[in-house]
Amino acid sequence: MKEKEDIIEVISKYVPLTKKGRNYYGICPFHKEEDKNPSLAVSKEKQIYTCFVCRSQGNVDTFIKEFNNRWSSNWFTTFLLLLIYLSNI
Ligand SMILES: [Zn+2]
């Protein structure tokens, strides 16, 4: 059995986290509006994350899945735009 990775370690690979009290806080990568205040709270004890703004929450697996969904589709859009741009030259 593979031990689960610590949620703090995993999320901090994607988003810088700051420890405040018992939780860690960072900029949420999931909502569209720019996040000026860190609204993503991560609990080391419960191994879950919650965003106060877009209400996304889950565990390590959810985070990675959501992150990949969101950013891979963005990369795809960028790629398509690049193709359109190149075909117009
Ligand atoms: Zn959010």
Q: How far apart (Å, rounded) are the C-alpha atoms in residues 73 and 64?
A: 14
Cα dihedral: 44, 49, 50, 55 (round 10): -170
Domains in the chain with CATH codes:
7-87 (3.90.580.10)
pTM for this model (two decimals)? 0.76
Distance 58 CA to ligand 1 centre (A): 12
Distance 48 CA to ligand 1 centre (A): 14
User: Taking the CA of residue 53 as centre, how many other CA atoms within 13 Å lie in the half-sphere pointing to its CB?
Assistant: 16
Contact between residue 36 and residue 18 where contact means Cβ atoms under 8 Å apart: no
Banded model confidence at residue 2, pLDDT cuts 50, 70, 90: low
Is the pLDDT confidence value at 1 over 60? Answer: no
Each residue of 25-76: pLDDT tens digit?
Answer: 999 998 877 778 899 999 999 999 999 999 999 999 999 999 988 877 777 7
Distance 80 CA to ligand 1 centre (A): 26
Neighbours of ion ligand 1 (CB under 5 A): 28, 30-31, 51, 53-54
The DSSP bridge pattern shows strands 57-58 and 48-51 to be: antiparallel
Distance 79 CA to ligand 1 centre (A): 25
